[in-house]
């Protein structure tokens, strides 16, 4: 009887594990998609235009007005603080040269979320 129960539990666990793998894979693809979309916005001269002021590892012709966007997860362990910086850098530093992308509605909330995802992995 114990062997049957053990075999049943093993089968259930394996089945649930197999069902979870596609979900995890799908989540990873969505996260990658968000990063790619964020990159497109960040590099768009009519969008985020981050390269006008910042050096980003995969960008061409970066500016040097702002700090290089490297090791961002270490610099901003709380992703919400990075998003807040993008939304309105003047909230923390009133003399910041960085445009308040959210406050001035330069980017939508969704675009800011996508840019944050991209910048965070730099």
CATH class in words for 2-120? mainly alpha
**Rounded percentage of the chain residues whose pLDDT exceeds 90:** 72
For the whole model, what pTM was predicted?
0.74
35 phi and psi angles, rounded to 5 deg = -65, -45
Measured from the Cβ of residue 116, the count of other Cβ atoms closer than 10 Å reads: 22
Residues 6+ apart with CB under 8 A from 102: 86, 87, 88, 109, 112
Q: Check whether 99 has a pLDDT greater than 90.
A: yes
For 67-86, write each residue's pLDDT tens digit.
999 999 999 999 999 999 99
- The pLDDT assigned to 15 comes to 47
């Amino acid at each position: 009887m114990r062997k049957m129960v053990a075999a049943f539990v093993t089968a259930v666990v394996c089945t649930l594990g197999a069902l979870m793998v596609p979900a995890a894979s799908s989540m990873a693809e969505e996260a990658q998609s968000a990063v790619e979309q964020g990159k497109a916005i960040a590099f768009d001269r009519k969008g985020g235009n981050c390269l006008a002021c910042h050096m980003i590892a995969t960008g061409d012709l970066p500016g040097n007005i702002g700090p290089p966007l490297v090791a961002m997860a270490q610099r901003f362990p709380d992703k919400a603080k990075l998003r807040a910086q993008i939304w309105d850098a003047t909230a923390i530093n009133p003399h910041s040269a960085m445009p308040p992308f959210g406050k001035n509605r330069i980017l939508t909330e969704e675009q800011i979320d996508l840019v944050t995802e991209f910048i965070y992995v730099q």
